[in-house]
Amino acid sequence: MNRLMVWLPLGIFAILVGFFFKGLTLDPREQPSALIGQPVPAFELTDLNTGQLLSREMLPKEPFLLNVWASWCITCQVEHPYLTKLSEQMPVVGLNYKDTETAAKNWLQKLGDPYALQIFDPSGRLGLDLGVAGAPETFLVDSNGVIHLRIQGEVNDRVFAQKIQPMLETIQR
């Protein structure tokens, strides 16, 4: 019994040190998504450009990126040229998040519109259903509408090469 009392604090200390070092390797900006492996939530919202009512069934039937953006988002402006280039390789669906229609349309007119569909979500309800913490966020969705990856922050060459491309290759097999 006396021996156990000597080694118990050392064992607890070793476990705590292990948790500490594991925590140092994690990215504090990366939050797991409960929707990985789940379909895009059902919605009925309008297309920002046409005013047409959109639903989950109208999403592309091939792998695509669902990009959450807003005119008030500075990082969205930074990633926009890359998304424009990327939209030539694969469909990119825009989800305009907690924005005004006028500001969003002006932003797209000024910077260009790379989006195959432009979902207008002024209340942020679909964003909430997706677990969006803020703009920009991008989801990789397969041809069946199932979410495979969530990227918080800017999508760029590095993020595409390290995260999106490997997962895209996996879901296309």
Q: In whole angstroms, what is the distance from residue 57 CA to residue 59 CA?
A: 6
Is the bond leading into 136 cis (omega within 30 degrees of zero)? Answer: yes
Q: Across all residues in the chain, what is the average pLDDT?
A: 90
- Report whether pLDDT(39) > 60: yes
| Average pLDDT value for residue range 111-118 | 96
State pTM to two decimals. Answer: 0.82
CA 97 to chain centre: 12
95 band by pLDDT with thresholds 50, 70 and 90: very high
| Average pLDDT value for residue range 123-149 | 95
Q: Take residue 156 and report the two structure tokens written for it.
A: 């760029």
14 band by pLDDT with thresholds 50, 70 and 90: confident
E strands within the chain?
44-47, 53-55, 64-69, 92-97, 118-121, 137-141, 147-152
pLDDT at 27: 53
- Closest of 158, 111, 160 to residue 96, by C-alpha: 111
